[in-house]
Structures are given as structure tokens and as C-alpha cells.
Structure 1
Amino acid sequence: MSDTRFSRPATTPGGQAAPGEEGGPAQTGARWPLPEESIWSDRTDPGVAGPQGPRPQGPAAQGPAPQGTAAQGSGPQGPAPQRPAAQGSGPQGPAPQRPAAQGPGPQGPGSHAGPPNRAPGAPAHQGTPPRDPAPRGPGSAFQRPAAPAGPAGYAGAPGVPGAPAGRPGPPPGAGNARPDGPATGPATGPATGAATATGATAQAGPGEGAEAEARPEAEPPRRRRDPFLDNVKFVLIALVVVGHSLVPTLAADSSRALYIFIYTFHMPLFVLISGYLSRNFWNSNAKTNKLVDTFLVPYVIVEVGYAALRTALGSKWSLTIIDPAWLNWYLLALLFWRLSTPVWKRMKYPVPVAIAIYLFAGFSQISGDFSMDRFFGLMPFFVIGLVMQPEHFEMLNRRWIKIVSVFTILGAAAVAILVAPHTKLGPFYYKNSYADLNLSWYMGIGLRTALLICALAMCFAVLALVPRGETWFSDLGTRTLYCYLLHGVPVLIAKEMGWLEFPWLFGPLGVLAIASSCFALAIILCLPETRTLFKWVLEPRLTWLYRRPSAKLSAGS
């Protein structure tokens, strides 16, 4: 028993679990023999000298314990014999069982034996036993081992490192979150302790995090980037440069055929991949910030830059922020597509709804302000990409699908050559209304439906044929934004200077020369050196613009 006349109470706040112990503290209903070291030592009462000899074992040395104290203390003469705590010897019977972490207990040194301000020589508390607070520091005499791990996230769960007693732990599935970083993984269950990630043992007590600093956890391995999508993006961005460079030579049937072939699928496939990559866009603050960092700010900078370039080449100054010029339409359209992502993910049948909107949008003459015409014209491709899963791409990796894809591409090329001399280019921009195309409503719906089917067939054929492993251009596909926004400068200069209008360029040989030059330009603009030169313009760091997420510190909170 603890003699309160000569020593401080045995239990002090802030205890930490000892690995070798086998039970819980007194007055909680838990019963076990405590080691002698834990009952009395110079750690529990530094002001009293250590034990000088064995304590007498007579009946006088084992008198009745005062009510409200743990029957586990010892006098200053030596350690008491080990026996179970709170066996019901007092008049009031055994202490009611309750969880140890039911809320913050008294914080003073004498919290177990009486009021916090009781003098060391005062009699012990004789009333109802006070609640036993959870140990809150490393100097506690009761070195309590961790209780069996309960469901992750309950208040004071031992499986959650640093969870203070009586405070709610992290929600289930939140992972082992650190105050200064993101969650490092899913919450561990009863069998696997969170201490495996920190290098600590699973004996951490519930109140340990109130005074100890959070242990740094190992960073999770970065997820490897999928080279397949980077391969696809580089192929598409090279076709974008080729398509823009063929405009001065569209009077030639060869150029016109290649132009129709490219424009049937290259931007629809770009939009489809953008939709696929936007599935988890709203689950990350960093990705949400990119709506401003990589869309709005570059849009304004590029818009002003192209207006200045056209003025330098002899055109009149013209700048309309709401009406994107030339290739800048994609940034605004993608911005609005991603803003609409939560709406599509809430729908039960998003693809049929998107196709219906795409068809009915042809009845209205939608202006190009904020790229609304292409926003509706290419909407089905974004939504289809949004609902696609990785297994859908794996289905395209079958041999028979690859063979069918080869014939699909060859058939599309043959059709483009046949229809090029007498086909208008308006439908391939996915923005003109039926009235603009001089079509009746049923002819317009039929044309849009046929174009949607052809575009999807070519998109899936290209996805099936593009290499899936690492290639020499996989790394180039990670920087397609720079190629897209910067290639307009040399192409616009070449158009204005007449370098793309030489007579020999109006033919198959000219088409091959233009395509080869544009392919080389795409490689240059996707190099890491290009990103180093223009990153401050196209990917500015605007951390000062956003609120820093509040870190929930476990200590003192």
C-alpha cells in the first residue's frame, strides 16, 4: 500500500507504458502483480533515499489500506510484497471497472490520494475513490503497458501513435497522418501497429503524445508514373504542331487529307485523357491549386504574349481575355471541364447525358467566349475519360484488338484521302452549330453522331497501338504543356514570314517535310531545358496566394 504520510502518491501524471508489465493501474478494475521497481524507487520519490533493507513481513506492516488509494504502495523501508491491487478488501468492495482513457483527470502530484493541494502529511482521501487519470508523462511510477488495440480512430486508441487520452483519434482510413505532412497510409488494424512505420514499439501509451514530440515517419514510396499515358501525350502533341503548321498548305489535297485525319481524333483523345486524369482531381489541395497555377495565370500570360507577337509582326493590337485566341481555347475549356467534374461524378448515367448535351448544343449558336463552343462540342470525350478505369485500357492491349486497330487507322486514312477534296473542315473543329454548317437539324444530329463514333474508334485504336512501356519519348510526354503553349510562336512567325507557303510544300513531299520539322520542334519544346527556361512563366509558384492548411498539433491541443 502507499503510505501517504511519508511519501507522495505512487502514481504521478504522465506515465508511459513499460514493455515488461502485464496489467493496468489501480482503481480501473484491472488486476495484476506489479514489479517492485514500479512501486517504490528513487524515480517515484527522488527526495527520499532508496530502500535500506527488506521490509518486515508481519501483520503490522500490512494493515488495512485507506480507501481511495491503490493498495500497492510501500513504506520508505523497502518494497512491499507483491499482491494484486484493489482486491476488494475495503468496505466499499472492488473499484468499478471503467476504461482508463475516459477524459482528462487531475493533473497535480497527489491526484490519486486526495485533493490536488493536500499536504504530504495529510490523511488520505476517505470518500469515493477518485477517477484514475491516464498517465501523462514519462516519470510515472505505474508504467502501464498498452491495451489491446481497438478499432482505429477511437478516442485514445493505442494503435494510433500520440493520440492523447480522452481525445478523439484520427477517423478510420485517415492513415498515420503527421502534423506537417499528408497521411502516409491507411490506418492500421489491431494486428498491425502504427509503430512499425515509425520504428517505435507498439507499447506507446495513450497519453504519450501530450508531451513528447511526434516521431517523423518514413515517407511512402512515390507512385511510379505510368509511361503509357506519357507516350500517348507526346504522340498527340506532335500531331497538334503538325496540324497547325499544315494550315497554309490546305489548298493541296495531300495536306487537307492529313489535316482531316489528324483533327478527327487528336483533340478528342487529348480531352479523353484529361478526363481520365481528372477522376481524383478534387481529392488534393495541390491539384485544386493548379486550376489557377497552370490554367488561369498561364492563360493570361500567353494571351498577352500572343497579342504582343501579332503586333510585332504587323497586325493591329487586339486583346480580349474572354475570347481566347487560337490555341489558348484549350486552357479555358479544360478549366470548366474540371470544374464540372463533381457534377458528372454524382450522375448515374453521365455518358448518355453528355452525349445528349453534345447533340442538342448544335441547335444553338454558342459564342466562343470562354471557349463555351468547344466546351460543349468536346464534352462527351471528357466525360468518357472521367468514367474510364485502368482495366478499360488493359482491354485494349489484346492482340486481336491491336490488329483491328491497325485496320481502323488505315481505313480512316483512306477515307480522309477520299473525302478531302470536297469536305468542309467546320465539323472537325467540334464547335460549329448546325446553322453555321448549313445543315438541317436531323442532318446535323446525324453528322455529329457519325463524327463522335469515328472519333472514338480512332481514339481507341491509337490507345491500343501506342507502346505501353518505357520509350525514348516517355520523358518528353511529361512536359507537353510547354510544347502546346510555346509552339505557336515559331509556327506563327513561319506563317507570317511565308516560310510555309513555298510551292514545293504543296504536295506529298511538302507534307512530309512539314511533318518532320514539326516533329523535331515538338521534341525540342518538350526537353527539360525548355521547362527550365519557361517554368517561371508557365508554372509560377503562387504559394503566397493560398491559405496554408492548419496543422493540428497534438501537443497542448
Structure 2
Amino acid sequence: MISRITGDRPPRGDRLDAQDGRRPGTAPARDASAPIDKPPLPVRQPRKRGAAAAGPANQETPAQGFDYFAASARDGGPDTRSAETSGAWALQGTGPHAFPAQSRPPARDPRGLRLPETTEGGAPGGQWDPWSRTAQEGNGGAVRPAADAGTAAPERPARPMRDRPMRDLPAEDPSLPPWPSAPAQTATGTGPLPQEFAQRTRPAPPAGWDGQETEQEPAPAPQGKRPREPFLDNVKFILIALVATGHSLVPTLAADSSRAAYLFIYVFHMPLFVIVSGYLSRNFWNSSTKTTKLIDNFLIPYVVVEIGYAALRTAFGHKFSISITDPAWLNWYLLALLLWRLSTPVWQRVRFPLFIAVIIYVVAGMTDLSGDFSIDRFFGLLPFFVLGLVIKPGLFEFLARTWVRVLSVLVIAGAAAVAVYLVKNYSIKLGPIYYSQSYVDLHLVWWKGMVLRMALLVAALTMSAAVLSLIPRSDTWFSDLGTRTLYCYLLHGIPVMIAKEMGWLSAPWLFGPLGVAAIASACFALAIVLCMPITRTFFKWLLEPRVSWLYRRSEQSA
């Protein structure tokens, strides 16, 4: 039992009177050299059995309990209650589970101070001591009083571990919620404990745990809609401007400058677009509302755009033709993104999804895949979509570091120099940068085709990381424009097709660096116009019609 004054813990399972080697029942001699911080406290004599049980008036029966400090105060001794000593003995010596004290002389601790009388378990007044041998033997700390000669000791039920002394309980965790605490009671149960001990008691459990009603904390206010991330909107606007620029450079690809710019753009701009689409598709299947977007944002616009471009080609003298399975021109992306999002649960389920996607990407080049339903682009750009699914937001923070941005400038400059060098010195074929043609179509043996695809994968990822590093993270003037890139993607083909058919993009002065700059500037301005709110107002009825009548009521309300 922990000493009331010194706080020293006696050895487990050993009786206090056995520490100095004396015989039980003899009073030990005080060690004059032992320091004494406070005068010894008087202790009541143990209650005797039978006819000798009647004693002084200040002796209490086991049913009343024994408060050591109250007895000390009545006898004239000081009442030195503290947060460390007042609670454990006062609470543990009362109630129907209290046991009578043993008839034994008062014990002393190693410093010579008198201690409260103990029982066989080493606890004062029949209390439970967690350091006693009985507690270690697994009986819950139950202490049976010693029996006189010829008298059987009464059987007592084992005391549960919940009667553990308060001093051995952990201190209150300040991180716990401030549950209202019930007032702590003294040994007699008639009044509160001192304030310094009541503050150390555990907080009361929440309402409903023990059937008592307690004050409830106000429920937190519902959080508002999470704001959009301006960084991703900035990325999407830059990429959609590059998409329009790449399509506009096709009539001038005979010039080295246009061909180099085209090669530079197509190596990374669609792979990065697919990475962002995969990143935004991570939680796509969490609600049925998002599932309906598969029809609202993909299938309906796909049908509308297919019919619109077929009508536009017919207006310029071409034969009318329409194919739902074989998307025309830029419409391939809608079907490919639809298939990628349908496969999202599979990639979120399997282990090593990126590794598996890269293997499929390399092996798919050995098969001559058709363009029906954009299957060739689905496999050709699959690793980039899966990469978007598995990357964490911490990657974007890493790319924003200063040294990474400096390195990114060098990467972009080096990639532009490599594109110019390859166009000047080699007859570069543009088929591989579409990520759709097989090795047979590229006239390559299988192992050379695999090496080429892996080299393109590394180049695309390196350039994509460099571009992500250099794009602003904060809100900019074009951040809002990045929220409506779908309209720019679907509508920019109309002015580009008109300019091609009318010969505006084949002017001689466009075949050179100045022509590349002019086309890029015009496409940047076109992207701004097509991403403005007024454009969505004019074409929303066509590209995003209300089709709530198409869905079941349960799915619509989910």
C-alpha cells in the first residue's frame, strides 16, 4: 500500500511488519536518523471480537466505515488531506464491501512513521491494494480477514477491478470533452471532497451511458460545401488552350517550327489532361448523383457533338456520315473518359494498380486495336488515368518547392530544345505521340515498340510534372475559366474546322515561328471566350440539357 506521507511503495506481496525482520505484534524501535517531515498521526486501535468489541465512542463499525483523517481530527491530530491521499482511503473504506481491520499492532514504514492498520492484503481498513499478492493472483484484489483459532474465515465475494484506488487511476486527459462531472462523495457519502481532489476525478460519462441525463454539448454546425481547388482549375485552362493550339497547327505541320511545337505539345498535354481527370475521379462512385453525370456530361454531349460535326462537314461539301461507335475527331475523349471512370472501382480494388496499368499499356501495342468506342486511346493512355487515381495531394505540394520549380524550367527548356533538334535532324513520325497506334502500324518490331512506349511514358510524366510545378497555386484571373473547360473542348472544333476549310490557317506567313506564335495567341483568346459564363448560358440547353425525367426517383433524390 502506498504510504500516506512518504508516497513510497512497499514491495509487492510483502507485509510491512516483515521488512525490518521483527516478530509480529512487537513495536519496532524508531530510527533516530530517519527524517520526519510531519508528526506521526494517531491511529485508532483495532476492533476486538466478541464481548470486547465495545470500545471507545470514536471507534466505528465496519458498516459505518473508517475515515482515517476524520479519526485523526477527532483525536486532536492534524487533518492533512491532499489530492494524493484523501481520496483513495476515504472512498475505499466504506460501503457494503468494506472489511473489518485485522487485530495487529500498528506498522511502520522504512522511515519509522506509523501507518494505518493493514490487513492481509496490505491495505488499510480492509481495502483493496493493487500491489498485494491477492491482486496479482487474479482474484480481483479480494481480502479475507484472518480468522481466530478454531473459527472459519467468512467467505467474501471477490471485489472487482473497478474498486481500484483513485490514486492508481490515470490523471484526467485534458483532450477529453468537458463532460459534466458528478460531485465526489466522502467516506460517509454526505458531502463533497476537497476541491483539489475533486478536480482529479474522472469526468462523468456521456448522457445515456448510465441512464442519467447530463448536459449535452451543442452539435457542430454542418460544414459548407468545400471550395474548389484553384490550382486544378488553372491547370485545366492551360491545357485546354494547348488542345486548341495543337488542333490549329495541323495545316502548318510542313514547317519545322510548327512541327516542333506540335511534337512538344502532344507529348504531354493529353497525358496531363488524363492525369487530372483521374485525380478528380477518385470519389466518383461515392454517390448516385455523380453516377448520373456519366449520362449528363458524357453520353448526351457525345451524341450532340457527333451529329453537329457531321452536319458541319456536310455543309462544306463532304458526304454525310455518322457513327456512334467510331467517334469523330476530338469526340474520342468523351468515350475514353467514360470507360476509364467505369473501370475506376477495379483499379481502386486491386493491388499495384499503376504497375498493372503500365504492363497493359506496353502489351496493348502488340495488338492492332480499332478506334471503336475509343478502345485504342483507352489502353494507350491508361497509365496516366490510373496515376491520377493513386497520387496524393502531397505530390502537388512537393512540386511547388522552389528547387523543383527551378528544375522544371530546365526540363521545359530542354524538352523544347530536343523537339527542335529531332525535327531538324530526323524525319520524326508523329504516330507514337497519339498513344493509339500499334507497333505494326509504326513499322516497329515488338521490342522496339515497347522501348518507344516506355520512353514516351517517361517523357510525358517528366514534362507533366514540370508543367504542374510552374502553374500558379493561388486564385488567378483564369481560375474561374478553368471550371468550364468542357464547353471549350466541345466547341473549339467549330471555329478551327471553319478556319481549315476556308484556308485561313494555310496562309504562307503562318509557316514559321511567327505563325506559330500567332496561332497560339489566337487559340488562347478563343479558349478564354469559350470558357466564359456567357458561352455556357448560350449552349447549356444543348450540351447539358435537363434529363431528370430519365432517372428513377430514388436515384434522383440520392
TM-score by length of 1: 0.61
Cα distance in 1, alignment partners of residues 407 and 555 from structure 2: 54
- 1:491 corresponds to which of 479, 496, 505: 496
Matches within 5 A, 1:230-269: 230-269=233-272
- 1:290 and 2:293 matched: yes
Q: Which segment drifts farther, 269-278 or 218-227?
A: 218-227
Cα distance in 1, alignment partners of residues 445 and 401 from structure 2: 41
Cα distance in 2, alignment partners of residues 269 and 423 from structure 1: 22
Cα distance in 2, alignment partners of residues 150 and 228 from structure 1: 47
Q: Which residue type is aligned with residue 538 of structure 2?
A: L
Distance 1:308 1:399, change over 3 A: same
- 1:501 and 2:524 matched: no
Aligned residues: 351
Matches within 5 A, 1:152-551: 196=219, 220-421=223-424, 422-549=427-554
Q: CA deviation at 1:147?
A: 8.2
Cα distance in 2, alignment partners of residues 364 and 280 from structure 1: 32
Find the residue that maps to 1:282 and give its secondary structure. Answer: coil
Offset from partner CA, 1:263-285 (integer Å, 9 cap, x none): 00000000000000000000022
Offset from partner CA, 1:251-271 (integer Å, 9 cap, x none): 000000000000000000000
Offset from partner CA, 1:335-365 (integer Å, 9 cap, x none): 0000000000001100000000000000000
Offset from partner CA, 1:287-307 (integer Å, 9 cap, x none): 111000000010000000000
CA RMSD of aligned residues (A): 2.2
Gaps of 5+ in 1: 1-145, 152-156, 160-189, 198-217, 553-557
Counterpart contact for 2:207–2:216, Cα < 8 Å = no
Cα distance in 2, alignment partners of residues 423 and 158 from structure 1: 81
Distance 1:192 1:288, change over 3 A: farther
Counterpart contact for 2:298–2:335, Cα < 8 Å = yes
Find the residue that maps to 1:283 and give its secondary structure. Answer: coil
Cα distance in 1, alignment partners of residues 503 and 271 from structure 2: 30
Q: Which residue type is aligned with residue 352 of structure 1?
A: F
Q: Which residue type is aligned with residue 221 of structure 1?
A: G
- 1:148 and 2:186 matched: no
Cα distance in 2, alignment partners of residues 541 and 219 from structure 1: 29
Cα distance in 2, alignment partners of residues 442 and 409 from structure 1: 29
Q: Which residue type is aligned with residue 298 of structure 2?
A: F
Cα distance in 1, alignment partners of residues 496 and 281 from structure 2: 30
Find the residue that maps to 2:219 and give its secondary structure. Answer: helix
Structure 2 counterpart of 1:187: none
Gaps of 5+ in 2: 1-204
Q: CA deviation at 1:536?
A: 1.1
Cα distance in 1, alignment partners of residues 314 and 215 from structure 2: 69
Cα distance in 1, alignment partners of residues 407 and 259 from structure 2: 26
Q: CA deviation at 1:548?
A: 2.2
Distance 1:150 1:498, change over 3 A: farther
Distance 1:509 1:286, change over 3 A: same
Structure 1 counterpart of 2:56: none
Q: Which residue type is aligned with residue 539 of structure 2?
A: F
Find the residue that maps to 1:468 and give its secondary structure. Answer: coil
Find the residue that maps to 1:549 and give its secondary structure. Answer: helix
Find the residue that maps to 1:364 and give its secondary structure. Answer: coil
Q: CA deviation at 1:412?
A: 0.4
Counterpart contact for 2:288–2:555, Cα < 8 Å = no
Cα distance in 1, alignment partners of residues 343 and 360 from structure 2: 14
Q: Which residue type is aligned with residue 432 of structure 1?
A: Q
Cα distance in 2, alignment partners of residues 467 and 378 from structure 1: 26
Runs of 4 or more, structure 1, over 4 Å off, are 190-193
Cα distance in 2, alignment partners of residues 150 and 324 from structure 1: 62
Distance 1:327 1:196, change over 3 A: same
Q: CA deviation at 1:406?
A: 0.6
Cα distance in 2, alignment partners of residues 525 and 550 from structure 1: 32
Q: CA deviation at 1:393?
A: 1.2
Q: CA deviation at 1:549?
A: 2.5
Q: Which residue type is aligned with residue 524 of structure 1?
A: V
Offset from partner CA, 1:146-177 (integer Å, 9 cap, x none): 981459xxxxx999xxxxxxxxxxxxxxxxxx
Q: CA deviation at 1:547?
A: 1.6
Counterpart contact for 2:289–2:555, Cα < 8 Å = no
Cα distance in 2, alignment partners of residues 444 and 415 from structure 1: 20
Find the residue that maps to 2:340 and give its secondary structure. Answer: helix
Find the residue that maps to 1:373 and give its secondary structure. Answer: helix
Counterpart contact for 2:289–2:556, Cα < 8 Å = no
Q: Which segment drifts farther, 418-427 or 343-352?
A: 418-427
